[in-house]
Amino acid sequence: MAVDLTVKNYGAGMKLRIAAQSSWFPGLSNVEMVEQIAAYGYSAFENLDAGKWEDKAAVRAKCIELGVKPGCISGGGTINGDGPVNLGYHEQFEQEVRQAIVNAKALGSACLVALTGANRERICFERQMDNLVIAGMRVAPMLEDAGVTLNFELLNTLVSHPGYFLVYSEHGAEMIDRIDSPNVKMLFDVYHQQISEGNVINNIKKYIKQIGHFHFADNPGRNQPGTGELNFKNIFKAIAESGYEGLVSAELSMTKGCSSDDVMRIIAECATW
């Protein structure tokens, strides 16, 4: 597979900075992937594992050349294992965030994703929230110095991640307010929050000040827009109207028969009005 510079510039009229998934172009190198999404008129990509890429410097240079922004990379914590809900994990969490900042700088990203870890059944909810606040306050100064934002992700426990601690927007926003740092926010994943609580557009509007990053996929199935129950044109409009200026990153699987060209077109149509 080679870079196709003749593809349609689907992203030219998009009202949001949508980040495509690098995995949609498996036959290309990471640098070539940047060239390909730029040819489609997109100006961002995301791969949470990009902090581990060996060619970060080359990707960063190509992104600068083409005006493409790398999205979030992994910043620390786990989904079903131990995490910053546990005080005993905080030293490890600090080291994970510190290394993630180095990786983000090398790639040209200013965005990290943090995971809280699994709910600890023998510790009350309030104590675990306190522990998350302490963890966030512990890493906030280094994030502020680096100009990097850490986003604690909310996940659903009904379908995808049973046992995960941080589920609801209300709790995420409370935690962010208590940490009180411009560089510690929450990640609002449209797919997860539709499952956990619904009311997606109202919650985006209500908690936009605490949201630092977005992921999206349709529900059910976690596939491309148009395969489920969500109206992505209206959701994207709500995000744009909120004044949010960051990335809105796809995190989805394509259904059988959906090509990379198809998904780039479908998403761009949802973000154009």
Q: Report the share of the chain in percent with pLDDT over 70.
A: 100
How far is residue 175's CA from residue 186's CA, in Å, rounded to a whole number? 9
Q: Which whole number is the average pLDDT over 128-139?
A: 98
How far is residue 103's CA from residue 106's CA, in Å, rounded to a whole number? 5
List domains and CATH numbers for the chain: 10-270 (3.20.20.150)
Lowest pLDDT segment from 121-125, 135-139, 216-220, 235-239: 121-125
Mean predicted lDDT score pLDDT of the chain: 98
- The alpha carbon dihedral of 63, 101, 133, 125 has a sign of positive
Q: With bands split at pLDDT 50, 70 and 90, how would you rate the model's confidence at 6? A: very high
pLDDT in tens, 199-243: 999 999 999 999 999 999 999 999 999 999 999 999 999 999 999
Q: With bands split at pLDDT 50, 70 and 90, how would you rate the model's confidence at 118? A: very high
pLDDT in tens, 54-95: 999 999 999 999 999 999 999 999 999 999 999 999 999 999
Q: Say what the pLDDT of residue 57 is.
A: 98
- Would the pLDDT of 3 be above 80? yes
Lowest pLDDT segment from 13-17, 58-62, 87-91, 119-123: 119-123
Report in angstroms the alpha-carbon separations of 121 from 80, 90, 128, 131, 147. 13, 19, 10, 14, 35
Q: Say what the pLDDT of residue 116 is.
A: 98
- Would the pLDDT of 1 be above 80? no
Q: Say what the pLDDT of residue 42 is.
A: 98
Q: Is the pTM of this model over 0.85?
A: yes
How far is residue 24's CA from residue 249's CA, in Å, rounded to a whole number? 13
Q: Which whole number is the average pLDDT over 244-250?
A: 98
One DSSP character per residue, the chain reads ----TTS--GGGG-SSEEEEEGGG-TTS-HHHHHHHHHHTT--EEE-TTGGG-TTHHHHHHHHHHHT-EE--EEEE--SSS--TTSGGGHHHHHHHHHHHHHHHHHHT--EEEE---B--TTS-HHHHHHHHHHHHHHHHHHHHHHT-EEEEEP--TTTT-TTBS---HHHHHHHHHHH--TTEEEEEEHHHHHHHT--HHHHHHHHGGGEEEEEE--TTTS-STTSSS--HHHHHHHHHHTT--SEEEE---PPTT--HHHHHHHHHHHT--
